[in-house]
Amino acid sequence: MNLAKRIYNWVDVRVGAGELVEKELTGYLLPTNINVWYSMGSILLFIFSIQVVTGILLLIYYVPDADKAFKSVTFIMNDVPFGWLIRMCHAVGSNMMVLILLFHMLSVLFMGSYKSPREMNWLSGFILLTMVMGISLTGYLLPWSQLSFWATTVATNSVGAVPVVGSYLVEFLRGGKLVGPPTLGRFFALHVAVIPATIAALIGAHLFFLQRTGVSTPPFGLKDTTNRWQGDSYRYESHPGGIPFLPHYTLQDLTSISVYCALFLGVVFFDPYIFFPSTAFMPADPFQTPAHIKPEWYFLPNYQTLKLFPSEFLGIAVQGAAMTFLALLPFIDRGTEKHPLKRPLFMACATGGIMLYFALMIWGHYS
């Protein structure tokens, strides 16, 4: 105990650990009516950490070569002790990360937490969503199976619908005219280096913006005594008499992470193959196109939208317009009201958009 105290004092003198804990953790107050939805961010941090750890462990045996990639994945699954567990945790975790991130963004939407002065919070979170989609897409190719090969072929083909530069973009993504070894090399570099580093930087920026503006007060539940200070450069929302982040809300975060772990491990141990069609266990064959190749569930609405329009360019343009509108929502919705039931236009648009998203997903799955 004395040794631990001496180590703590040594660190405290040099970096001010005590002051950091007092001001940034125990002194960081949250609204008294804060709810469980605010734990989604902590769950996402936990998922990202698990993805990094399992990804590093997979890199020990994975070989990013078109002739060896599928064999190395098979070796991990069948011969490496607990290799199947690491790979399943990584594969299931990628799906869960997208799912929890969508829930997180929905909670921000319905609680009006994207409104001024939190435009930068929303933009950084929106870019994080696109980066997570990107890292999921690039990781999809790495097993070099029939499913991953042809799903990547379909996904990269859609970029060719962009006028004038479409064919050049497809060739740039693939490293050639067709999906092949250069594509695997590019996607591997993006998946293990470029995109994770970008995600880590965006997470840091997102947390910085959150710390500077304060946690948004939920629009429902018990009333919170909130003090808003209007400064020359930014507006900070403090919560006098609120809940300290450490240790009070930290326990809520740990509870939410524990519930997530239970669900996550339940999928990993009892039904991980819901994310693996039969073509995921066949090596890639560029000369044999399997029937009914489709992207992952979170890309199904995009996939089905492209099929609904007479030209792929029109489908991409519609999706691009929708994504741009969503990204700029804080600058479009300038009202101060946050309660969703007091925003009928928002409720109608949000409910309609969610129903359309799920309808396109189901349609794309069964089409």
C-alpha–C-alpha distance, residues 47 and 61, integer Å:
22
Residue 231 has pLDDT above 50, yes or no: no
Q: Inter-axis angle of helices 40-59 and 195-213, to 10 degrees?
A: 160
53-75 mean pLDDT: 96
User: DSSP readout, 122-167?
Assistant: HHHHHHHHHHHHHHHHHHHHTT-BHHHHHHHHHHHHHHTTSTTTHH
Give the pLDDT of residue 16: 78
- Phi and psi at residue 101, to the nearest 5°: -65, -40
What tokens appear for 360 in the block?
């396109």
Better-predicted residue by pLDDT, 230 or 300: 300
C-alpha–C-alpha distance, residues 108 and 25, integer Å:
22
Q: How deeply is 12 buried, as exposed, middle or buried, from its count of CB atoms within 10 A (0-12, 13-18, 19+)? A: middle
What tokens appear for 62 in the block?
């994975």
CA angle centred on 286, ends 281 and 290, rounded to 5°: 55
Q: Report the range of poorest mean pLDDT among 58-62, 235-239, 347-351.
A: 235-239
pLDDT interval class at 195 (50, 70, 90): very high
Give the pLDDT of residue 125: 96
| Complete domains list, the chain, with CATH | 38-219+243-291 (1.20.810.10)
pLDDT digits (tens, 9 = 90+) for 9-33: 888 888 877 777 666 666 678 888 8
Give the pLDDT of residue 117: 87
C-alpha–C-alpha distance, residues 265 and 263, integer Å:
6
pLDDT interval class at 79 (50, 70, 90): very high
Scan for tokens 């970096």, then name that residue.
15
Cβ atoms within 10 A of the Cβ of 24, count? 12
pLDDT interval class at 232 (50, 70, 90): very low
pLDDT digits (tens, 9 = 90+) for 279-313: 778 899 988 888 777 888 999 999 899 889 888 88
Residue 230 has pLDDT above 60, yes or no: no
**CA nearest neighbour of 123 among 108, 144, 141:** 108
Q: Inter-axis angle of helices 181-189 and 119-141, to 10 degrees?
A: 140
Residue 226 has pLDDT above 50, yes or no: yes
Give the pLDDT of residue 233: 47
CA angle centred on 259, ends 123 and 271, rounded to 5°: 95
User: DSSP readout, 66-97?
Assistant: TTTHHHHHHHHHHTSTTHHHHHHHHHHHHHHH
pLDDT digits (tens, 9 = 90+) for 153-166: 988 888 888 888 88
* Residue 229, SS3 per DSSP: strand
Is residue 100 within 8 Å of 61, Cβ to Cβ?
no
Give the pLDDT of residue 27: 67
